[in-house]
């Protein structure tokens, strides 16, 4: 073999436990949504809704993203993962932290349980950031994608620290500002800093790779990075020091939205030049998730100017259940079967006939998952808009079906046994 490093996939314990835990968290999230459907018609600052949001953001979104990132960092940086041990520490601290935090929020234990949970999440974010920094530090080439991965990791750490301070503030108040105002800053650092920038960076690498498309317009990604970070940074500084005001919020939203437009233009450019013409169901999931992100952003002026918390809850539902969930539901079956396939068959390839990665899961279940996901998003949003608990409960029942199909399919992949095709 020549001396070009094509990289070794990180050991499975740096990746698969995250997928398995996130899958269970997603199922738990849908159950919580079902049993607490009524809370989606109340103010967003209530214990059960806080538990639901943190299950979605940490147990589901962050957990699966950590797993995928440990697998993809070597692809993005063209080097091996810095430390699989740190990746494992990341899982232990995140899992324990999420469990403590969810119990604490659900029962509103504002004491050591919530603070310990928050501390573990901060440790997990630290561990992840160390792996990101050191893996990208030894990158051969500079790339905007790498920049996004680093900035998103930094925003996650910032969000986790802010969250821990908020948890301490609930028990031992020390913030001179309103808790709810700082909560908005914490939430947006997580959404526009961690999730948006990580998804922007990773999708800018993966979507062209999956479609066999190319875009020479790398500058669009640089503008995306600048606009997204500038908008978020101004929002946080202004919001903390001068208070959140409607007119200025719109300016920051426009900046972040400009960053999103630049990113989507880059993806569209790669999509237009794609070699692979067939669009599979996983890519359709991604497309619907982008629509949800667009709808959430268009909703911000309504949240700012309209009274009541229904629009804020709709905004959260579109982001967590529409955008983040949509992209994960699709991308799971673009990554996980390949990770598991590699572990079982990479040494057998060419020797004997082996199954293909797509044969490790059920495509029929993914099709149904996609259909039910669309129905669940539409009904959930409709239920929130018309303030109808019964519709939200029906939507949540469909979410339980979506998560059950997802659990079955992910477990089918994770529990796959090596077999030779005769």
Q: Which residues bind other proteins (CB under 8 A)?
A: 1-2, 4-9, 71-72, 74-75, 77-79, 209-210, 212, 275-278, 338-339, 341-342, 345-351, 356-358
Q: What residues contact residue 384 under an 8 Å CB cut-off, 6+ apart?
A: 40, 41, 310, 313, 314, 317, 392
Nearest to other proteins of 73, 328 (CB atom): 73
**3-class DSSP state of 349:** strand
d(CA 398, CA 376): 6
Nearest to other proteins of 173, 350 (CB atom): 350
**CB-CB contact of 93 with 120 (8 Å):** yes
- Interhelix angle 144-171/112-137, rounded to 10 degrees, is 160
Q: Rounded to 5 degrees, what are φ and ψ at 19?
A: -65, -45
Nearest to other proteins of 209, 364 (CB atom): 209
DSSP-derived letter for residue 12 is G
Nearest to other proteins of 167, 354 (CB atom): 354
Q: What residues contact residue 209 under an 8 Å CB cut-off, 6+ apart?
A: none
- Least distance in angstroms from the C-beta of 210 to other proteins: 8
**CB-CB contact of 164 with 118 (8 Å):** yes
- Least distance in angstroms from the C-beta of 267 to other proteins: 16
Nearest to other proteins of 219, 346 (CB atom): 346
- Least distance in angstroms from the C-beta of 222 to other proteins: 21
- Least distance in angstroms from the C-beta of 415 to other proteins: 19
- Interhelix angle 16-35/84-107, rounded to 10 degrees, is 10
Nearest to other proteins of 79, 285 (CB atom): 79
- Least distance in angstroms from the C-beta of 282 to other proteins: 12
Q: What does the longest C-alpha to C-alpha distance in the chain come to? A: 70
- Least distance in angstroms from the C-beta of 260 to other proteins: 25
d(CA 313, CA 387): 11
User: Can you read off the two tokens belonging to residue 302?
Assistant: 């309504």
- Least distance in angstroms from the C-beta of 204 to other proteins: 13
Nearest to other proteins of 15, 321 (CB atom): 15
């Amino acid at each position: 073999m020549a001396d070009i490093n094509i990289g070794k996939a990180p050991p499975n314990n740096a990746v698969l436990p995250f997928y398995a835990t996130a899958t269970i968290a997603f199922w738990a999230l849908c159950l919580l949504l079902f049993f607490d459907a009524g809370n989606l018609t109340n103010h967003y600052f209530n214990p059960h809704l806080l538990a639901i949001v943190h299950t979605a953001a940490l147990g589901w979104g962050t957990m699966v993203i950590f797993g995928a990132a440990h697998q993809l960092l070597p692809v993005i940086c063209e080097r091996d993962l810095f430390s699989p041990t740190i990746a494992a520490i990341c899982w232990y601290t995140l899992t324990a932290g999420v469990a403590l935090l969810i119990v604490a929020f659900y029962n509103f234990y504002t004491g050591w349980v919530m603070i310990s949970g928050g501390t573990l999440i901060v440790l997990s974010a630290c561990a992840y950031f160390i792996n990101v920094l050191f893996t990208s530090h030894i990158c051969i080439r500079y790339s905007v994608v790498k920049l996004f991965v680093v900035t998103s990791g930094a925003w996650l750490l910032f969000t986790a620290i802010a969250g821990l301070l908020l948890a301490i503030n609930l028990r031992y108040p020390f913030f001179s500002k309103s808790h709810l105002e700082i909560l908005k800053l914490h939430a947006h650092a997580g959404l526009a800093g961690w999730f948006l920038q990580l998804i922007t960076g990773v999708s800018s690498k993966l979507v062209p790779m999956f479609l066999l498309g190319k875009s020479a317009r790398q500058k669009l990604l640089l503008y995306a990075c600048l606009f997204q970070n500038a908008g978020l940074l101004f929002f946080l500084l202004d919001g903390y020091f001068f208070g959140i005001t409607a007119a200025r919020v719109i300016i920051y939203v426009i900046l972040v939205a400009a960053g999103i437009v630049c990113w989507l233009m880059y993806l569209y450019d790669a999509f237009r030049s794609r070699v692979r013409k067939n669009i599979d169901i996983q890519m359709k999931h991604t497309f619907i998730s982008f629509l949800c992100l667009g709808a959430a952003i268009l909703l911000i002026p309504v949240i700012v100017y309209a009274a009541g918390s229904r629009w804020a809850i709709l905004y959260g539902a579109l982001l967590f259940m529409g955008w983040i969930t949509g992209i994960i539901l699709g991308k799971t079956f673009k990554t996980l079967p390949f990770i598991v396939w590699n572990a079982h068959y990479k040494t057998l390839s060419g020797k004997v006939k082996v199954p293909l990665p797509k044969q490790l899961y059920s495509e029929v279940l993914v099709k149904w998952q996609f259909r039910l996901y669309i129905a669940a998003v539409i009904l959930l949003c409709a239920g929130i808009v018309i303030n109808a608990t019964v519709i939200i409960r029906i939507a949540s029942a469909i979410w339980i079906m979506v998560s059950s199909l997802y659990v079955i399919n992910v477990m089918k992949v994770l529990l796959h046994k090596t077999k030779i095709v005769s």
